[in-house]
Structure 1
Amino acid sequence: MGRKKLERFAQNQQSWNVIEAGKPFYEVCKGKWHSDFFKNQNPIVLELACGRGEYSVGMAKVFPNKNFIGVDIKGSRLWKGSQEALKENLLNVAFLRTYIQNLENFFAPQEVAEVWLIHPDPRPKEADARRRLTHPRFLEMYRNLLQKEGWVHLKTDNTGLFEYTLEVLREQQIKNLHFTYDLYASEYATEHFGIKTKYEQIFEQEGEKIKYLKFQFA
């Protein structure tokens, strides 16, 4: 392992806004994010597979009355968002290091207000379908964690993943589905406040249209 990664991991261990194995709150956080961590009742918003956490940090600046948690297994990526949040003195954003499939170990039913999927890995191989974050098994998990009327958002450059998701949603009990194949030419562009990940900027330079959808469970 490189020295830079080791340094980042060491900083994560010292950063209050990174929750990971070995820290006390990691073992007891389920159902206690409001009372014990954020110490308020503001809505909790998850950014899943958050990478560098651009959305968690960016949205935390826009919405000081919401709590944001970026979730990813890559500690060296979380480090970037963690350090940016600390630099900006953002008390309403945190990062949880775990696998997405383990979310129900860390959040109680209806503890979450919104879920954002920002350019998740499309997993294009059919054999990897179950690993797509919009596969029915993940959608069922989101349904359990979300409060009534909570929203799920997907933003992606990948047409295959987008159309797969729309197909899956046709078989789900959902409501208020809104979608577009060209986010920044649509009425939903302002809902993203100009926040773009590093990879999104690369996709746009390559001429890819950004797709977006949101829905609620019925």
Structure 2
Amino acid sequence: MSRRKLQRFKENEANRNVVQLGKEIFEVIKGNWNALQFENNNPIVVELACGRGEFTVGLARHYHEKNFIGVDIKGSRIWKGSTIAISEGLDNVAFLRTQIQLLENYFSTNEISELWITFPDPFPREGDEKRRLTSPRFLEMYKPLLKKDGIIHFKTDNTGLFDYTLELVEQRDDCEVIFHTHDFYESPMKDIHHGIKTKYETLFSEKGEKIKYLKFKFA
């Protein structure tokens, strides 16, 4: 392991906005994000597979009345978002280092107001469907964690994954599509995201890929 990674891991251990194995709060955070981490009652917004946290931090800059949590297993990635949030004094940002399939271990029923799924691995092979973050398996996990009328936002460059997800959501009796587009930056929704882009979104956009976006909720 490189010296840089080791230094980042050490800083994660010290940074209050990183919740991870080895910290006391990691074992008791479920159902207690507002009380123990943010010390307020503001709505909680979670980004899955947040990477370096560009989107999580970007949203937090614009919405101080909400709490934002980026989830990723890569400690060297969330270090970036963590340190930026600290340097900017953004107390409404935190990062949870864990695997996404374990999400229900760290959030309680009705604890999340909004969920962002941004540019996940498409896992295009049919045999890998259960690994997609928008598969039935994951939707069933998200459902109880979201508040009533809680929103799920999904962004991707991958047409196959987008069409798969849209069809799946439209076919479910317990889901309601609020908005969808195959060209986000030519849609009415583009301005409300304040131009915030993840690293991957920037790369895909520069290659001419159309960004797809879906907004839905559980009925």
Instruction: Give the TM-score of the pair, scaled to structure 1.
Output: 0.98
Alignment deviations for residues 2-39 of structure 1 (CA, whole Å, 9 cap, x no partner): 11111111110110000000000000001111112111
Identity score, percent: 58
Offset of residue 176 of structure 1: 3.8
Distance 1:177 1:136 in 2: 19
Q: Secondary structure of 1:42's match?
A: coil
Q: Deviations over 1:192-213 (max 9, x none)?
A: 1100111111111111000001
Alpha-carbon deviations, 1:114-144, whole Å to 9, x = none? Answer: 0001111111122211010000111111111
1: distance between equivalents of 2:29 and 2:37? Answer: 8
C-alpha contact 2:170 2:177 (8 A) present in aligned 1: no
Aligned to 1:181: 182
Cα distance in 2 for residues equivalent to 1:43 and 1:84: 22
Aligned to 1:119: 119
Post-superposition CA distance 1:135-180 (Å, at most 9, x none): 0111111111000010000011111110110121123211243100
In 2, Cα distance between equivalents of 1:47 and 1:56: 6
* Structure 2 stretches lacking a partner, 5+ long: none
Report how many aligned residue pairs link the two structures. Answer: 218
Pair 1:200 & 2:201 matched: yes
TM-score, with normalisation over the residues of structure 2? 0.98
| Runs of 4+ more than 3 Å apart | none
Alignment partners' CA distance in 2, 1:123 and 1:188: 27
Q: Deviations over 1:22-63 (max 9, x none)?
A: 000000001111112111110000000000111110000000
1:5 match:
5
Over aligned residues, Cα RMSD in angstroms? 0.8
Deviation, structure 1 residue 79: 0.5
Q: Distance in 2 between matches of 1:29 and 1:64?
A: 21
**Structure 1 stretches lacking a partner, 5+ long:** none
Alignment-mate amino acid for residue 133 of structure 1:
L
Structure 1 residue aligned with 2:150: 150
> For the residues of structure 2 that align with 1:130 and 1:152, how far apart are their CA atoms?
18
Counterparts of 1:166 and 1:126, CA distance in 2? 17
Matches within 5 A, 1:100-119: 100-119=100-119
Using the alignment, how far apart are the partners of 1:176 and 1:210 within structure 2?
Answer: 18
Q: Aligned ranges for residues 33-182 of structure 1 at < 5 Å?
A: 33-172=33-172, 173-182=174-183
- 1-side partners of 2:192 and 2:47: how far apart? 15
